[in-house]
Structure 1
Amino acid sequence: MSPSASASFPSPRPPATRLRGDLGVWLIILAELLTFGILFVAFAFARVREVALFNAGQATLDLHSGALNTVLLITGSWCVARAVHGVRVGRRRTGARWLLVALLCGCGFVVVKLAEYAGKLSEGIDLTSNTFYTLYLMLTAFHFLHVVVAMLALAYLWLRLRAGAYGPHDMHAMETGAAFWHMVDLLWIVLFPLVYVVH
């Protein structure tokens, strides 16, 4: 074949990459990341202004509970990723089982966090105690709310999977729910060291 003949056939274009999940939910995720980013910066600035107060406040937090919740959320994210993969290859039951494990990880997070809040309340600590506790409770409670919303989304996906929904031909809802859960996990990965660890 002559060079001129081969030049008449354009080379195939690689398939265009697409954003997995719902665009509206991705916009919500970006807005939430921005909101948390502002809160993280506020926490960091407040810490610089009141180092001794923040060090004393951090010393009262349970690092073991925070670390356990980190493991639970990371494990939950891994399970959600396995669930999405299972559904993508046509294994709905496998996907549903992985979602159930992710939900259990979320429940574990909720139980540990509620126990931590109960301990602080029993000590008379609330939003008005001092700057550290105000920001600590605002950040962690806001994140806690997101965990609950993400769990409700996973529960809905689990019920739909059990009813025979979704599959290789319909991954939109699964990918959307997974994206939201991974955001919740990512936020905690930043929040835990910032609030509990960094001095």
Structure 2
Amino acid sequence: MSATDYEQQGSSWGILEDLPGDPMIWVLIFSELAAFGLFLGAFAIARLVQPALFASGQAALESGLAGMNTVVLVTSSWAAARGTQAARNGARRIARRWLLGAMALGGVFIAIKLMEYAQEIGRGIGLETSPFFTLYFLLTGFHLLHVGLGIVILAVVCRRAEAVSVETGTAFWHMVDLIWIVLFPIVYLVR
């Protein structure tokens, strides 16, 4: 059943009905946040168990590229927010432009991350190098898949650029951004 069907039947989504977009996207977002939370928890516990190994792993990472990717993804979220505002105002053409910009920046994020992976693999670093790199590749790779999925979602909602659809797609996109904002310092900076 869609959110509209529930509304017509008089059922309430509770707190979800006050959030922008379709309430079902929030179920997905909360489940994704829980999954990333578990991954980050495992990373934090492993760091406590092997602090020297994690410190040396972090030292081998290119935090400059990751920092650049942070700026790219935050800027992309800003563009998505502008697209949402335009869609709410009925300016679908402008909304599409902002969403295309957000998607393009998502593509830049992917390109930078793949370049970072290529550099690491070129130095002989891989999934089996150490527990740090196993968790690093799993965490950042899982996030990278979400960036790709987010681009697909934005492309789908961009087609019609209707306010509720755009709100739904950009809610997912902002979740992807939020996860990176948490992931970046934990994986690259916190010693």
TM-score of the superposition, structure 1-length normalised? 0.85
Per the alignment, residue 175 of structure 2 pairs with 183
Per the alignment, residue 130 of structure 2 pairs with 130
Per the alignment, residue 172 of structure 1 pairs with 164
1:128 alignment partner, SS class: coil
Cα separation, 1, equivalents of 2:165 and 2:92:
13
Query: How far off is 1:119 after superposition?
Result: 1.2
Cα separation, 2, equivalents of 1:189 and 1:60:
20
Q: Segments of 4+ in structure 1 off by > 3 A?
A: none
Cα separation, 1, equivalents of 2:21 and 2:159:
19
- The one-letter code of the counterpart of 2:144 is F
Cα separation, 2, equivalents of 1:88 and 1:172:
8
Q: Percent identity?
A: 47
- The one-letter code of the counterpart of 1:136 is Y
Cα separation, 1, equivalents of 2:90 and 2:28:
29
Alignment of 1:81 onto 2:73: no
- The one-letter code of the counterpart of 1:184 is V
2:61 alignment partner, SS class: coil
Give the structure with the higher percent helix.
2
Cα separation, 1, equivalents of 2:19 and 2:50:
42
Per the alignment, residue 197 of structure 1 pairs with 189
2:185 alignment partner, SS class: helix
Query: How far off is 1:18 after superposition?
Result: 2.1
Query: How far off is 1:87 after superposition?
Result: 1.2
Root-mean-square deviation (CA), in Å? 1.1
Query: How far off is 1:68 after superposition?
Result: 0.6
Query: How far off is 1:120 after superposition?
Result: 1.4
Residue segments in structure 2 that go unaligned for 5+ positions in a row: 1-16
Cα separation, 1, equivalents of 2:18 and 2:57:
45
Between the two proteins, the alignment pairs up a number of residues equal to: 175
**Alpha-carbon contact 2:92-2:160 (below 8 Å) kept:** no
Instruction: Report matched runs for 1:39-188 at 5 Å.
Output: 39-161=39-161, 166=162, 171-188=163-180
Cα separation, 1, equivalents of 2:89 and 2:25:
24
Query: How far off is 1:19 after superposition?
Result: 2.2
Per the alignment, residue 35 of structure 1 pairs with 35
TM-score of the superposition, structure 2-length normalised? 0.88
